[in-house]
Chains A and B, each alone.
Chain A
Amino acid sequence: MTRIAPLPPVIAGLLFFLLSLSVNAGTLTEVRVVSEAQKYRTIQIEVSVTDARDVDRYEVWFSEQPFRTLTDALLHSQVQVADTSRLERVPEGAAYEDCWEDGLPTHRDPFGSPVISPAAKRWSCQLTGLIPNTDYWIAVVAVDYSGQLLSGQDSLSPIKTRTDIPDQLPAPPDTRPVLSILTSIVICLLALFIYLRRQDMRSGKASANVAHAYVAPALIALAVLSFYPIVYGIWLSFTDAHQSRLGQESFIGLTNFVEVFTSPGFGRVTLFTIIWSVANVTAHVGFGLMLALVLTKAHLKGKLFYRTILLMPWAIPAYISILAWKGILQTDGLFNNILGTEIELLSQVTSAQVLVILVNIWLGIPFMMMSLSGALMAIPGDMYEAADLDGVSKWDQFIHLTLPNLKSTITPLSLLGFIWSFNMFTVIYLITRGNPSVDFGQPGATDILITYVYDVAFDYGRYGVAAAWSVIIFLMLVAFSWVYVKKTKATEAVA
């Protein structure tokens, strides 16, 4: 691969000016597969460009069948065209998919996706994650700022290629440190169990001679795969772990935490997470209780039918109903159809925030409904008869009898619901991915803490910072739970 020194900005600007005089905007003169650069599960393509005017990004589409329109293909990757002067080039091998422009590794935006300058004449990219020994058809299209394909691309002629290198897992990195830690944990635990068993045998707990053997596998699994990662995660939060230097992280003290607390989006995303969680729990409990009250009425006909239908949001895999809601909320989706409008519901901050909350409310009601109807049925009915005889109104009965008796159910359920909502990743990731974005590189308007942690970890590859966010989330939850338990205990003592 030839390497060309970067052009001085003045010349680049001039070049850009000259090129933009050309007529056919966004013409791709040639797309070819660099067969000599083929690697495991990877195809490298090279694209020659005559004119990048009006081009916002190039998109690489692929399919296992020939295709003529993009609806029959899958999007593989995007290369943005933008001013690269304030971005950094990322060295080869640092990202999942290496990209080059005019022979040099491309610049990358903070999200890690490649950006090429409008002046670039030739760029190439690795397409990874392909299935070995499979035929692929690949097409590259240029897209303008409004998201439309540039002209002359109505009929696509994708090029055909094949992944030839057989399936084999890449040689794993050095596993010895991790394995030795895991093995030592296992050995320690085993030793502990044997010791405990000895003790029990000596003290004559007859039934216990197999107990430890029964519990050991589960506990070892838990220690190795839950407790160890937790400790490891806490350690990571004090290091500079990054996807580009895996296994070489070093201790950097509280730097990550300082960064998190001083990052401009921290307060905003925390606030929205709290609003999100509180709104969800309140609505889940409120609507769940309302439905449970109606469904536990003695003389209601069709109870079974109603309960079965109302359980659907719980029964259907969450990601499916979430994506269905995403479809409903599109500009050409059901919601706009019903109202006869074409509102971009998910690109306005307030409506996007309200709608993701509403979708999550929809998802969570059945669980609360069922838990609360169980609790309602456990309340003795003659208590209400006694109140009837005392002339207590139905409303007072609900406030003074039903609610206090549900408290022992609602209190832990609300806490649980709060923790679940706090960590509800799927709804926001699938519907908005945190968009609409507020500021470049900051959490979006609908990001909650956990979706932002995902971005930090897997879009930016900053594992250390992500671990610090995780630890902070965890501490927030611990603090909240602690206060909550204290408070509810206190009110219980008073009541």
Chain B
Amino acid sequence: MITALLLFWPALAALLVLLIKGQGAKKVAFVAALVEFAIAIVATTGFDAASGATQFELNLPWVENAGIGFHIGMDGISLLMVLLTTFLVPLIILSAFKHDYKNPNAFYALILFMQTGLIGVFVALDAFLFYFFWEVALIPIYFIAAIWGGVNRIPVTFKFFVYTIFGSLFMLAAFVYLYFQTGATELAAHSSDVQAFYQLALSAESQSWIFWFLFIAFAIKMPVFPFHTWQPDTYTESPTQATMLLSGIMLKMGIYGVLRWLLPVVPMGVSQWDELVLILSIIGIVYGSVIAIRQHDLKRLIAYSSIAHVGLIAAGIFTLNEQGLQGGVIQMLSHGINVTGLFFIIEIIYRRTNTREITSLGGITQNAKALSIFFMILLLGSVALPLTNGFVGEFLLLLGVYNYNAWFGAVAGLTIILSSVYMLRMFQGVMFGTKSEHTEAFTDLTFNEKAVLIPLVIMVFWIGLFPNTFLSISEPAVGNLLNIINR
């Protein structure tokens, strides 16, 4: 039941928020998101971390005759993703407090509505339900970006929308095919339940086809090189809150999709193509990092760095060993936290200076000590300094990749060099040096901004120092996943 509550509470709250006129909407939205987070915490305390089984399950008939069920539930991986979502959404709402958007009720209602979609993706245990929420999550973000975005928003968001829909259709086609394969051996009806998909025994050739259909959908969402070109533009043009939602949470949908719907469903397909996927991902790492080195727009720089980080997660996951998978899961959390924080810091700088160009900034650290500290910590998390969250993930991921193939590991490892190059270059350009005309009267963080950054920084150190809190939640689930794959 608690899963259903988690799923529908934001949608209900969204309807409520929609009714409120004026800027009061954000407060209601914030409280609603906090309540959602509290529900997630309650769910976590009731969660049996030692068991790899799906918990808090709810299986109602949806299209009963066709074997399509409203099947939701959480295992360790889902729970972590739900925690990430519910943790970040209140902060994302809070981060918008100082920004008076037009039609605030619609803006915040869309964010909450999106939360339902995101949580739905993470808890759905039926292929068509998954597909449903996958698309549900896309609609609000499209409107947020297209209504409240930058100058170029219309073509950019349109491209983003068409691009992801294009990918989703492949996924739908694959699901329909798989659906018709279920129950083929006996007289039993077809089913789109995740377990039914796991039990399919397809030929290697059809697995190979299905692999690509599903992979394209997920790869576009992540995005993996060379399906990434929607991302820098969309991140740059969207309002910061949308960018945070996209990079912090939505991108994890793609990775989660791989974990839940790709690896265990078509293991033979994976074993045929994993090397190619790893190569693509590793190209993405180097490619994204190298491009990030010369970007001068802060948002675009982080967008390219995100391609690199996600490339590493994808590479780690496709190694199909425990270090890689666990590293991928923990890195999803870390990346969500770091990238959200970094985008917020860019927003803070933009609010005060009206520019995101590195060349027109500088010397901010002289005026804003607190900002420097937060920025530094988040940056260190993202360059994977030990004892911050990024290290645990990258260490495990690189170990996984190295285990798969030492040369791949070495090339993927370039990320630790290149990330320090572009991140420090950014930090130096923005924070150090002499003040520019834009940063002359820079003011330090306000209470509201600190309120967003402090929880993020706490998480940076929590995951960095005590990763086992989270690793132990996903460990049985990852073990299960490996069992299914290696069956």
Is chain B found bound to chain A in the same assembly?
no
